[in-house]
Amino acid sequence: MTTSVTTGQKVSDLCEDGDRFLDNGDVERATSLYMSAFRTHATSAVSHMRKLDTSSLSRVISTMEGWLNSHVENQLLEAHNKGLAAVFLSTLIPNNPSATIYKMESLLQSGGQGCEEIYARCTALLVGEPNMTPQSSTHILLEITRGLACLFSACRILKGLKIYLKAYRTNKRKTVSLVKSRQKVHLPRIIKAFTDQIVCIHPSLSLVSDTKQAVTKTDDDRLDEVDSSDIIEFLLAISPGNREVQELQAAHLFLSGRFEDSAEIYSALLSCQNMSDKIQPDTPERTARLLTSRAAACFSAGGKIAEECRDLEEAFEIHPATARVCFQNLFTDLGVEMIARNLLRQQAERGLSGYRERVLLRQDLRSTEGIELLDPVITQLRTLCHLEPDGGSRELRVRLTECLLLRGEYKESLSICSQLVAAQAV
């Protein structure tokens, strides 16, 4: 009995203090005290709130809605939590959108539990509020919340992506702002879902995304090709510093025929690889892919041939397997595969001619003066061998062996010779 009286008195004191702050215009402090009363004894606090005039109650409700909708730290909430505010608010106004969305966000935060129910609740709120305009923050927040719920459901992923795109096209600024603030922890899931879908639209981009998802074959299970630009734009907006998204943008520009723009982005991605503040360096596979892709974009746009060839040479030095697949994927489709090979061969021949001229100028023919001129030639010949079937023609490999011997690379030269002898014996 004593405990009940003490609790009742404490709730009464808290509510009276809240009333005084409310009368003085300090709504946030008043709301904080009402929440303390609700935490102490919910029934008594709600009973007190019901007795407030409509204007006062509306101000308290608006304050709690603002707290739930804001991701800015609030000192008045240090002693409380948003979960308590959501329960208090939904007790005062059942199905309050702000409280309901917060509860659903909390469920999604814990691993997407009840995603089907969340989708249904959001849909019901959207249908049940005819006066809520599609441009409003609440409407968009409900849309992206049910869109996220779809991404947690294996059979609703495509529907979720369409919901995100619809919200983005309705109000780009608000959608991006809400996704970045309310769904920040889920950005990797959102980006991956859209990236996988881009690969369904453009299977040739599978190299960029490194996705393990099987490419969908039916048109009913994918977005339209016209959606690609909006998807890229949306992903860049919600994750502007994401290098994978930037690479996806460069690849999409390449497929759209905007070769110069594509090359510019590839250059930017490559230039920031050596930044001292880069937390995780690119893998050799990624670097080789970027170099080969930039070479393809430059070849297509028409530019400095020597630089483009150097990109190819460096790519094959870093990771031959990735560079070869990327080269075949990009250069063969463009019809410039033979052009690239011929240019590499011409550069190698010019390099050999330069070396021969330097040898003829030596005071002592046995000296090694000018031998460094063979380095780019060897690189070019190696690249050509990688590009040709079965490791290059016999003539090409013999030429490479000669250059390696002159350079003093006896082990590699012997290995190639052994391969050529074995092939001849077959």
How does residue 406 score in pLDDT terms, banded at 50, 70 and 90? confident
| pLDDT value for 201 | 79
pLDDT of amino acid 371: 87
pLDDT in tens, 254-301: 988 899 999 999 999 998 765 544 556 778 999 999 999 999 888 888
8 A C-beta contact, residue 46 and residue 79: no
* pLDDT the model gives residue 207: 60
Q: Give the mean pLDDT of 367-379.
A: 87
Of 159, 232, 132, 155, nearest in space to 191 by CA: 232
Cα angle 18, 20, 23; round to 5:
110
| Statement: residue 332 has pLDDT above 80 | no
What was the pLDDT predicted at 16?
A: 93
2: pLDDT confidence band, cut at 50, 70 and 90? Answer: very low
Nearest in space to 99 (alpha carbons), one of 127, 78, 68, 122: 68
Report how far apart the first and last C-alpha atoms of the chain are (Å, whole number).
Answer: 102
- Domain ranges in the chain are 1-94, 100-237, 362-425
Over 70: is that where the pLDDT of 158 sits? yes
Q: Count Cα atoms within 13 angstroms, Cβ side, for 30.
A: 22
Give the pTM.
0.79
Q: What does the pLDDT read at residue 393?
A: 85
* Residue 404 to residue 297: CA distance in whole angstroms: 32
The whole-angstrom separation of Cα 117 and Cα 107 is 10
Average pLDDT of 75-88?
73
Q: Which of 86-90, 307-311, 324-328 has the highest mean pLDDT?
A: 86-90
Task: Spell out the SS3 assignment of 163-230.
Answer: HHHHHHHHCHHHHHHHHHHHCHHHHHHHHHHHHHHHHHHCHHHHHHHCCCCCCCCCHHHCCCHHHHHH
Return mean pLDDT, the chain: 85
Three-state secondary-structure class, residue 153: coil
Considering only the C-alpha atoms of the chain, give the largest distance between any 2 of them, rounded to a whole number of Å. Answer: 113
Each residue's pLDDT tens digit, 16-25: 999 999 999 9
